[in-house]
Structure 1
């Protein structure tokens, strides 16, 4: 995962070292910084993560897609349904990250059900990590993940494996992700990652009329 320009400097070194000591492995400082920043956003107000999510140009790009509005979005729904078929995973969605007040809007496909729209709060979102970093988030087994194993999605059993590819406009503003997940662990092969990346490009072309 690529570093966030202003986030690694905000990382709590003690917390990072603690996680490393527990797992005995490398912990991505950028991901840890985002994790800590999200907690600050939820409990203490503005943080570097808040600044990224609430950037006016990024929010304008989100709302300009028209996908936050209720109603059918057949072209997007079709790509999301294709994602499930192509990757062979039971759940997929195009998740649009709005802001820290109305954080998460989803045009989702669950096991072939097209067009379900839901909203849920920032702490329950995995896609927000990909949006803030601008890099894919790939998790084979969230229960073994050194940073996200205590995430609500892991604790609830909703997510065992996850992949999220950020969707950005031409100016580089990440508006959301194309994601897929399973309730069980799953090793994401290089072929599956490429499929997700290609489909994310299709979604970008659809929503930005390219």
Structure 2
């Protein structure tokens, strides 16, 4: 499948289907998605204690403990869905790599990637960077992953300034200065299993507009079509 052009993927900040919370902050949503958890990440200070509990539970899980987050990651049907994508096989994967490359141009952000999440690690299957420095390391342990939080919640994770995030401000990606702002959209199969994320990030804080969120959501839908409908 040929991915849409940036103009086809772009939507206005004033689009009628954009949602806002009581503070006027944008909420990412998609009528086509079937997340495994109804919790949605917003640009606000994550007031929902259940969402914070998921994040905190996952932090203990990747450190060796047990939690509901571990159950979600280790679900056998989800893991089978991850392997069935075929993206864990050695690349290249030109169709998804093309979409990742399109993402940095369509959103106007320095970095983007498509990552698969197993029960033990994050596996990068496509990455693009305006700097051209993408590095050779394509696997990362879960404690170093931000995308794992998107997969566990089954919902978009949107962070304008990670230094102000109540849970992730101490994450290694934040402490190292690699990530200042992040957006991750879950890639979900037809049975509702989140297998990975299409994500983008900047090393500086960045306010994600409703238009940028919609572009990311649209491109994640294209990725899903490429992976699961081929």
Q: Does 1:187 align with 2:207?
A: yes
Shift of 1:171: 0.6
Query: With structure 1 as the length reference, what TM-score do the two structures score?
Result: 0.83
**Relative to structure 1, is the Cα distance of residues 112 and 26 closer, same or farther in structure 2, using a 3 angstrom cutoff?**
closer
Alpha-carbon distance in 2 for matches of 1:26, 1:152: 20
Alignment of 1:14-163 (within 5 A): 27-99=47-119, 101=120, 103-107=121-125, 108-111=127-130, 118-163=138-183
The count of aligned residue pairs is 190
CA distance in 2, matches of 1:188, 1:149: 18
CA contact (8 A) 2:124 2:139 kept: yes
- Cα distance in 2 between the residues matched to 1:50 and 1:195: 30
With a CA cutoff of 8 Å and minimum separation of 6, indicate the structure with the bigger relative contact order.
Answer: 2
SS for the counterpart of 1:52 is helix
Which of 186, 193, 200 aligns to 1:166? It is 186
Whole-angstrom distance in 2 between the partners of 1:126 and 1:141: 14
State the distance in 2 between where 1:80 and 1:59 align: 23
1:92-141 superposed Cα distances (whole Å, 9 cap, x missing partner): 00010011x3x100122222758966000111111111111111000011
Work out the CA distance in 1 between the residues paired with 2:221 and 2:81: 16
Partners of 1:75 and 1:112 in 2: how far apart?
22
SS at 1:149 equivalent: helix
Q: CA RMSD in A?
A: 2.3
Q: Does 1:201 align with 2:221?
A: yes
In proportion to residue count, which structure has more helix?
1
Once the two structures are TM-superposed, the CA of residue 3 in structure 1 deviates from its matched residue by 9.2
Gaps of 5+ in 1: 8-24
| Counterpart in the other structure of 1:19 | none
**TM superposition score normalised by structure 2:** 0.76
* Structure 2: runs of 5+ lacking an equivalent: 1-26, 28-34, 40-44
* Secondary structure of residue in 2 paired with 1:194: helix
SS at match of 1:79: helix
